[in-house]
Amino acid sequence: MEYILKEKPTGCILCDKPKENRDRSNYILYRGQWNFIILNSYPYNPGHLMVAPYRHVGSLEELSEQELAEHFDIIKKANKVLTEAFHPHGFNIGINIGKAAGAGIDGHIHTHIVPRWEGDTNFMPVVSDVRILPQSLASTYEKLTDKVNLFFSG
């Protein structure tokens, strides 16, 4: 609800945040040549990451072969990082293309990686449209930083 009711910034956060050179405060975990990893500011679960190209494109077809290959390589490595850090029982990995498909950041393609655990939904969403996250974004960032450096350095 915080995201839905919040005044939306102008511009594109997936274009703007990497240009700010404030990775820690923007929760940018990794920078590749063509793509980067950022924590979702309004996560469904702890460890909810997004992989996005630096270039503002709205579809897979607009990505170059290099952008596309690196994008999916980062997804694969990020899955390993999250598995090592959080030991989830599964993952939801998805790309919402276009507003009708649920793209919260329409026009800049990105992939969501959401760790899942058996029974990870509780009564709060059913009763009051509230989701409880047991870990802050800053804590999640700290937990993942060393593992990202380890998995992406080789």
Give residue 132's Cα distance to chain centre.
Answer: 18
103-143 pLDDT per residue, tens: 788 899 999 999 999 888 644 444 444 455 566 888 888 88
Q: Where are the domains of the chain?
A: 2-152
Torsions phi, psi for 91 (to 5 deg): -140, 150
pLDDT of the residue at 123: 44
Q: Which residues are catalytic?
A: 110
What is the distance between the alpha carbons of residues 152 and 149, in angstroms, rounded to a whole number?
A: 5
Q: What is the DSSP letter of 119?
A: T
How much is the pLDDT for 124? 42
Fold classification of 2-152 is: HIT family, subunit A (3.30.428)
